Structure 1
Amino acid sequence: MRVHVTTNAGALNREQQLGLVKDISALIAEAAADPSLTERTWVTLTEVVPGGGGIGGRAYTNEEIVRTARKLLGKE
């Protein structure tokens, strides 16, 4: 199984990266009811450079993504 996760640059620190890979691998194995998938799941983490990704037809910088996400989550 292969899973690709894309975040904005700097969104996750090393501890968060390790936890995310572990959690995703465990979720895949649990969903498939196959514990061996934990060891056979590849998780690729990719960070998008500022302006290298977009939402709704517009490329965003990291700061714009964070500001938009916070606004959507009611945290701003």
Structure 2
Amino acid sequence: MPMIDIYAAAGTFGDPHQLAIDAAATVKSVEQVPDIPMFRKNTAAFVHELPSGAAANVDGDGNYVRVQVLTNAGALDRDKQLAVVRQLTDLVAKAAGDPTLTNRTWVLLTEAAPGGWGLWGHAHTNDEIVGAARAEIAKLRQ
């Protein structure tokens, strides 16, 4: 149930809402989690449009995109890490209509600490998240 934050200068993306949907769907797909409401409703992306000049590298260039993906611990093995970085980088460039943006997109992968995944008003451990998913799957099969 990743949370994805995409930061870019205002106007970078023609349709930020569609980018948010596509980013959430991309990470959910790479994660290969069951297509259950728990994951569909709690995998989300947020597109943050920054004012001009609010971001820069050492040289002052501000035409970068930063994508941060927060997952529960162990959600992305090495193959999934590679896939999510590649796919999100390509998605961002496509959404911006700028293929060169692949060279200026930073993707950060972060795992929540045990107990650091707050959902439904509770700080979940990874085992609790897995247990909740199994319980939902069992209910759907009844």
For the aligned pair, the TM-score class normalised by the smaller chain equals 0.7 to 0.9
In structure 2, the partner of 1:55 is 119
How many residues are paired up? Answer: 74
**Identical positions, percent:** 55
Select the residue among 98, 105, 117 that pairs with 1:34. 98
Matches of 2:72 and 2:111, distance apart in 1: 5
Specify which structure has the bigger relative contact order, considering alpha-carbon pairs within 8 angstroms and separated by 6 or more residues. 1
Residues 6-27 of structure 1: CA distance to partner in whole angstroms, max 9, x if unpaired? Answer: 0011111011001100000000
Q: Which 4+ stretches in 1 moved above 3 angstroms?
A: 69-72
**Residues 33, 68 of structure 1: CA spacing in aligned structure 2 closer, same or farther, 3 A cutoff?**
same
Where structure 2 has 5 or more consecutive residues not aligned to the other structure, the ranges are 1-64
Deviates more, 1:48-57 or 1:11-20: 48-57
Whichever of the two has the greater Rg, that structure is 2
What is the aligned-residue RMSD (CA, Å)?
Answer: 1.4
Runs of 5+ consecutive residues of structure 1 not aligned to the other structure: none
Q: Separation in 1 of the partners of 2:134 and 2:126?
A: 12
Tell me the SS of whatever aligns to 1:36: helix
Are 2:51 and 1:14 equivalent residues in the alignment? no
Normalised by the size of structure 1, how large is the TM-score? Answer: 0.87
CA distance in 1, matches of 2:69, 2:134: 20
